Amino acid sequence: MVGTHAGSGVTSLESKLLEHLRCQARGALEGDVATTTRNLVAAAAGGSPPAEVTGSAARWAREGVALETVLGAYHEGVRTGLEFLADAAAGLDADEVVAGSRLLVRVLETVTVAASAAYVDEHRQVAREHQTAAQALVSALLSGYGVTRLARQTGITVASSYQVVALSIPPHEDERRPGIARPSAARRKLRRVQAALATPLGSRALSLLSTDGGTVLVPIDGASAGTPLAMTAEVLELLSAAAEVPVTATVGAGDTARIPELAARGHELLERLLVAGRPPGLYPMADLPEAIGRDAAGYDKPQQARSSVVTSPNDQRIGRTA
């Protein structure tokens, strides 16, 4: 059996493995993710705490480096160790090979868990900061005051014109059930709606929503020309599917300066639609009569999507629960 360093409990193969990992780190290009992760893999193999791993992962999350890139770099560092172990294992005692393998598995577990947790925590913090900034800007746009200052502070581009969408989200079935944590069910519903908005409307769409509805502003200027965005009947169906309740909305469009006017009118018309018992769906403001209570030449019927996703709170529920 190949010997163990006296009093250290580390086999000579483990020592060679550690030196190999350190050499791999020294041989990489300076300053990139791969170099840093190889250094951290070597440090973790040497018994260093994962504080350096968490610090680096948090920094990469804030810089926008993808998590798969970070984990892939860590795994590549461990993979080089496995290749070295395989090449060096011929003719050696099985106990040493097992010890080296256990070391690499421990390193893989340490860096994966520590990096993933730190990255996700930092990413959530960045998302919360962006959401807070976006909500402040929406409030300014809805009031018509302080828009330029907030846009400069937040770094969010203000479009020259917007679709202004007033949303009503009725309670989910779980919010009515006795014994259910109703506020939690409502918050989960809201989070699903917010997540569902991102794909069809893009990152430049702004929203100010609560558990029972709110306002969405969708930019319609030239900056969105490459990927046209719009609240449509199909998009509203996606929101209804995410909320698992039928959503009702009014929509109008105009210059940014008209947002307060359009939002006020949209929510007023939305309230009249709900009081009048109109069916869920998307109602263009231009087609709505000011007095809603009965069909006026058919104009107060909602726009219809190509296929129905949710038409009634009593319909078969889709997917998960709130």
- 37-41 contacts at long range (C-beta below 8 A, 24 or more positions apart): 37/70, 37/73, 37/74, 37/76, 37/77, 37/111, 38/73, 38/76, 38/77, 38/80, 40/74, 40/77, 40/111, 41/74, 41/77, 41/78, 41/81, 41/107, 41/111
Same domain, 41 and 184: no
Residue 5 domain-assigned? Answer: no
Residue 147 domain-assigned? Answer: no
Residue 143 domain-assigned? Answer: no
With contact defined as beta carbons under 8 Å apart, do 262 and 252 qualify? Answer: yes
| Joined tokens for residue 218 | 């969708």
Residue type, 86: A
* 293/95 Cα distance (integer angstroms): 83
Q: What is the pLDDT averaged over residues 223-239? A: 76
Domain that holds residue 51: 12-126
Q: Among the ranges 64-73, 84-93, 149-158, 215-224, which has the highest mean pLDDT value?
A: 64-73
Residue 169 domain-assigned? Answer: yes
Cβ-based neighbour number of residue 268 at 10 Å: 14
Which percentage of the chain shows pLDDT scores above 90?
A: 28
* 163/206 Cα distance (integer angstroms): 10
Amino acid 11: pLDDT:
60
Same domain, 106 and 172: no
User: For 59-87, how does the pLDDT look when each residue is reduced to its tens digit (9 = 90+)?
Assistant: 888 888 888 988 998 888 888 888 888 88
What angle separates helix 33-45 from helix 51-63, to the nearest 10 degrees? 160
- 59-64 contacts at long range (C-beta below 8 A, 24 or more positions apart): 59/122, 60/33, 60/119, 61/118, 61/119, 61/120, 61/122, 61/123, 61/126, 62/122, 62/126
Residue 1 domain-assigned? Answer: no
Amino acid 33: pLDDT:
82
Same domain, 227 and 79: no
Residues, the chain, total? 322
Please state which of the ranges 55-69, 71-85, 86-100, 246-260 shows the lowest mean pLDDT.
Answer: 86-100
Same domain, 24 and 74: yes
Domain stops at, among 108, 126, 144: 126
